[in-house]
């Protein structure tokens, strides 16, 4: 485990907004995956992210349990994000996802399940009354929007619906709220700290399943090196309420997580960059007797500004 952590740290060394997912969510939790930027007036920012997310840690409350079941659970996702700055203060963010959930229970060939397809989408309107500029070291931004169930939430294998956590889409609309504050320590804004918070208020899908509401709070720092590299790191607290079906709580869903999210970015030219990011669990306190949860995730993002 330690070797694995060291490997991830060495590979990625630092972060900003990184993708996340948990065992209790079918789609990718989009708000956590969203880049924090608010597009400048008249500008487009486009990004594509590939994420690999392993959900193999077995946890009881906050205690790790040794899993001897040979189970392997992985989610691969592709996220396309577009931001457009309507004017100096208002911008719009849209996101599409393609999800590939995989689960292997035991070692027999028939124990492998895979569900893939279009996931949830997101649209968010952001308001940025203050940006970092020559006269201000602060930037504030907040936004409201909706998660849109674009994909399949009744994916079947051999005519049998897969479990909710394997469905590509959540199947329901959610209300989203998002906020971001950053402070630059120097004129060039090379060193920054930031606070970010978001919430997702979820609704019941067509199969009467409701993913638990989600709350995220992050604090982080970023630093631009003199060359084309930048590094960042953040610690994120995440709380997810238990899922419900027809108003009945689903056991072994929901909980609290604290993650370390490092990232490193390289600027390819004035218009584009790539970012390698990771998520490493620091602490979790999960509902119910036992839950599988995130062991690690890693993502690669390519961004382009028009």
Partner 1 sequence: MLYNFIFFASLIFGTNLSLAAEAPPFSLTAINLKERINLSDYQGQTIILDFWASWCAPCLSSLPVYQTWHDAGKVQVVSINVDDDLKDAIAMIKALNLSFPVAYDYDKSVAKLFDVYALPVAFLIDKNGTIKLRHEGYKSTDATQLLQRIQKINSIH
Q: Binder to partner 1 among 19, 22, 47, 293 (CB under 8 A)? A: 47
User: CA distances (Å), 241 to each of 115, 145, 244, 250, 285, in order?
Assistant: 25, 20, 9, 10, 12
Binding of partner 1 by 43 (CB under 8 A): yes
Interacting residue with partner 1 among 56, 114, 267, 288 (CB under 8 A) = 267
> How far apart, in Å, are the Cα atoms of 111 and each of 31, 53, 114, 259?
32, 20, 10, 30
What is the C-alpha separation between 59 and 290, in angstroms, rounded?
A: 6
Q: Please state the closest distance from residue 28 (CB atom) to partner 1, in A.
A: 19
Residues 6+ apart with CB under 8 A from 70: 104, 105, 106, 107
Nearer to partner 1, 279 or 284 (CB): 279
- Which positions ≥6 away from 279 have C-beta within 8 Å? 18, 19, 20, 53, 259, 260, 261, 294, 296, 297, 298
In whole angstroms, the minimum distance from the beta carbon of 181 to partner 1 comes to 15
Q: Which residues contact 7 (CB under 8 A, 6 or more apart)?
A: none
The footprint of partner 1 on residues 55-74 (CB under 8 A) is none
Out of 33, 192, 198, 200, which residue is the one contacting partner 1 (CB under 8 A)? 192
Min. distance of Cβ 45 from partner 1 in angstroms?
6
Letters for 215-234 (x = contact with partner 1 by CB under 8 A, - = none) are: -------x-x-----x-x--
Among 13, 72, 78, 189, binds partner 1 (CB under 8 A): 189
Q: For residue 8, give the 3-state DSSP assignment.
A: helix
Return the sign of the alpha-carbon dihedral for residues 100, 47, 194, 263.
positive
Choose, by CB under 8 A, the member of 188, 246, 247, 248 that binds partner 1.
Answer: 188
Residue 275 contacts partner 1 per CB under 8 A: yes
Q: Does 271 bind partner 1 (CB under 8 A)?
A: yes
Query: Minimum distance from CB of 121 to partner 1 (Å)?
Result: 21
Which of left, alpha, beta for 61 (phi over 0: left; psi -120 to 50: alpha)?
left
Out of 22, 216, 265, 299, point to the residue binding partner 1 (CB under 8 A). Answer: 265
Question: Please, which of residues 22-41 interact with partner 1 by CB under 8 A?
Answer: 35-38, 40-41
> Between residues 19 and 232, which has the closer beta carbon with respect to partner 1?
232
- The span from the CA of 224 to the CA of 190, in Å, is 5
Site for partner 1 in 106-125 (CB under 8 A): none
Residues 6+ apart with CB under 8 A from 243: 24, 164, 209, 210, 211, 212, 249, 250, 253, 254
Check residue 54 for interaction with partner 1 (CB under 8 A).
no
Between 66 and 269, whose beta carbon lies closer to partner 1? 269
Longest dimension (CA), the chain: 64
Identify residues 128-167 at the interface with partner 1 (CB under 8 A): 131-135
Give the interface with partner 1 as residue ranges (CB under 8 A). 16-17, 35-38, 40-43, 45, 47, 85, 88, 131-135, 187-190, 192, 222, 224, 230, 232, 265, 267, 270-273, 275, 303-305
């Amino acid at each position: 485990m330690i070797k694995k952590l060291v490997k991830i740290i060495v590979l990625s060394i630092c972060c900003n907004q990184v993708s996340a997912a948990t065992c209790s969510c079918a789609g990718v939790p989009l708000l956590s995956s969203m880049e924090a930027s608010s597009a400048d007036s008249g500008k487009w920012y486009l990004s594509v992210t590939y994420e690999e997310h392993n959900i193999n840690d077995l946890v009881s409350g906050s205690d790790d349990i040794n899993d001897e079941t040979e189970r392997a659970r992985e989610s691969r996702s592709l996220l396309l994000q577009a931001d457009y700055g309507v004017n100096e203060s208002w911008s719009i963010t849209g996101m599409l996802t393609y999800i590939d959930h995989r689960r292997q229970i035991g070692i027999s060939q028939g124990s492998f399940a895979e569900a893939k397809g279009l996931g949830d989408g997101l649209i968010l309107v952001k308001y940025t009354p203050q940006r970092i500029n020559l006269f201000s070291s602060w930037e504030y931004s907040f936004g409201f929007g909706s998660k849109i169930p674009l994909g399949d939430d009744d994916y079947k294998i051999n005519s049998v619906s897969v479990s909710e956590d394997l469905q590509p889409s959540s199947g329901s609309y959610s209300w989203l709220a998002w906020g971001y504050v950053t402070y630059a320590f120097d004129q060039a804004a090379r060193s920054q700290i930031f606070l970010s918070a978001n919430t997702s208020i979820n609704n019941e899908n067509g199969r009467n399943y409701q993913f638990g509401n989600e709350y995220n709070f992050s604090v982080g720092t970023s630093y631009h090196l003199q060359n084309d590299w930048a590094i960042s790191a953040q610690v994120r607290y995440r709380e997810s309420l238990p899922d419900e079906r027809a108003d009945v709580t689903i056991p072994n869903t929901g909980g609290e997580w604290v993650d370390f999210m490092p990232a490193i970015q390289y600027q390819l030219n004035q218009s584009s960059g790539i970012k390698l990011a990771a998520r490493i669990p620091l602490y979790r306190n999960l509902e119910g007797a036992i839950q599988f949860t995130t062991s690690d995730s890693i993502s690669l993002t390519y961004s382009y500004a028009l």
